[in-house]
Every structure is written in structure tokens, then in C-alpha cells.
Structure 1
Amino acid sequence: MNESRLSRDAVAGAKSDSDRSPTHASLRIAAMNLLARREHSRAELAEKLGRKLSGQGDYAELLNEVLDRLSEDGLQCDRRFTEAFLRSRCNKGQGPRRIIQELGRCGVESALVSEVLSNSEIDWYEQARLVAIKKYGEEPPKDMRDRARRMRFLQYRGFQADQIGQAIESA
């Protein structure tokens, strides 16, 4: 009886050691949990899952397999992430330059970003005008100092110089 107890304990101990190393299924579940909250770029998922794996060895190949499979299954798509990110940031009043910069930080390829931006039907001039009106109202700038303040604000939001100029002139 003691022998069977020892063998069960040994098996349980071995099982818990193997459970600590990530498997394809455990990485996939972790990735799906992240994707259930919001869209992620492939690079973001790799970074977040990589943090979970840090100190456990080199699992880069396993991680790439999981990410490839998620893409094949349609659960992760950089294009879908980029489109959702663009909509989200436009709703927050951000301009194209800032959106491009943030997508670059998320690890999205610049060619994909350019394609999604060019295919979007966003009127950036109108977007800049609406952001300026929301912040400052429809009154034109009182003086050069006020004009410069408005320009800096729109520049910080990521709008281009021509978009800013037209937004301030039409306000």
C-alpha cells in the first residue's frame, strides 16, 4: 500500500513539473484569453506571451507555431487589429501621424498601415476641424498666441500641417 502511495505521489510530482512547462494548448488558451478582451497585433501577442514564458527556457518556435495557427484559424489578424485600432483612435480625435506612430509601436508593418489608412474613408481635414471645435469652440483664434496654442494641440493629436491650417482657418 505504501508503494502505491509513493508511486502516485511520484507521478503527481512529475505531472506538476511537466505542467509548469508551456504546451501548445496552454499557450493557445492564454492567447485566446488575450484576444477575447480586444484585438492584438501578432507582435503584441508574441510580447505578452513571451513575458509569461520568460525564465522558462526558449520557446520561440512553439510560440510562433501557436501564433501561426491562430492566424490560420482567423482568431488573430493584423489587418483586423489595424482597422479596429484606426476606428478607436479616430473616435478619440487622433490624427493620422499619431495613429501611424502608435501602430508602429504595436509591431504592425508600415505597408499594412499605409494600405489600411488609404482604404479608410476618413476625411482627416474634417476630423481635425471637429477636434478643434470640440476643444476650442467655433470662435476663431483671438490672437497669434491662441492660434499657436491650437496648432500645437492639433499637432500633438497627430494631424498634419495642412490639416491643422485648414482646421484653424475654418473655425
Structure 2
Amino acid sequence: MSESNRKIIVDAITRMLARREHSMVEITAKLSQKGYEESETAPIIDEFREANIQSDERFAEAMVRSAVARGRGPRRLKADLSQHDVSDSVISQAIKEVAPDWFELALRVRVKKFGPATPDDFKDRQKQMQFLQYRGFAQEQIQYAIRGDGTE
């Protein structure tokens, strides 16, 4: 690899990481789109990882915080992170670090979309449950949100 290519790749990675956290897979894909071979980029990405400039752990934490802020549940979050080849242990650790209350988040998301009143009829209830399921919440979190106040 020529020194100018190395400089361009380092510069591209630096610019990506200056804006936000990126997963290793995401950086590799973006560099590949720019026409760089993985054999050229992999050693440079490894240097960034060893220097702790690029971290899948920080990326996962940022994604968890973003998902919570956007009202997305744990299932959707895990699916999104899996697309970035983030390991299950890293995902679990990131969720543990952020420690969101998924039940209260599901309730807040439902109230924001449909208002504070609990659904009266079957059709409204199904509509709200499907919405929360799409957002990635588990069944027990959806039930909590549908009840409205956490009571049976």
C-alpha cells in the first residue's frame, strides 16, 4: 500500500469517528464503498482499535442511548446492533451500562403516540400493541404500557 493511500484511509476514518461512533463493520463498509480493499483497510482499522479510538463498546452504548431517546425497545435495538456485527456480550454490557427502564419507556412511547387514556376496545388495543411491537418492545413491556399505570 502506498503512503498516500494510507494517509487517505487514516484521514477518512478520522473524519468518520469525529462525527460519531462507528462500528468496525460500518467503517469497513464505508471504506469499501470508496474503493479501498479490505486488505488495505483492516490493519489501519486495527490500529484505531488498539489505540481505543474506535470501539464497538462505545458504539453500542451510543446506539442504546439513541434507541432509548427515540423510543425503541430492546428487541429492535438488538436487531440493529446485530446488523453491525456487535457481539451479544457487548450489547448486553451496553444495555447494562445505560440501564434503561424498558417498561416505563414503552408506556411513555404509547402515551406520546396515543394519549394517556388506555384503549377501550379491541381494535384500539391491537393497534397500540402492534405499534409497540414494531418499536421492539417485549410482550410483558407492551402489556405494562397498555394497562397504562402498571396495574393488572
Between the aligned residues of both structures, percent identity stands at 36
**Alignment RMSD:** 1.8
Task: Say which of 16, 20, 45 aligns to 1:67.
Answer: 45
Larger radius of gyration: 1
Which 4+ stretches in 1 moved above 4 angstroms?
none
What does the per-residue CA deviation read over 1:102-155, in whole Å, with 9 as the maximum and x for residues that have no partner? 011122122211222233321100000010111111111020110000000000
Is 1:139 the counterpart of 2:121? The answer is no
- The total of aligned residue pairs comes to 149
> 1:22/1:100 Cα in 2 relative to 1: closer, same or farther (>3 Å)?
farther
Q: Who is 1:89 aligned against? A: 67
TM-score (norm 1): 0.81
Q: Who is 1:156 aligned against? A: 134
1:66 counterpart letter in structure 2: I
Q: Distance in 2 between matches of 1:127 and 1:84?
A: 17
Q: Who is 1:33 aligned against? A: 15
Q: Who is 1:12 aligned against? A: none
Q: Distance in 2 between matches of 1:119 and 1:27?
A: 32
Task: Say which of 66, 81, 88 aligns to 1:110.
Answer: 88
Provide structure 2 residue ranges, at least 5 long, that are not aligned to the other structure. none
SS for the counterpart of 1:53 is coil
For residues 2-21 of structure 1, the aligned pairs below 5 Å read: none
CA contact (8 A) 2:65 2:98 kept: no
TM-score (norm 2): 0.90
Q: Distance in 2 between matches of 1:151 and 1:160?
A: 10
Provide structure 1 residue ranges, at least 5 long, that are not aligned to the other structure. 1-17
Q: Distance in 1 between matches of 2:93 and 2:99?
A: 12
Q: CA deviation at 1:22?
A: 6.1
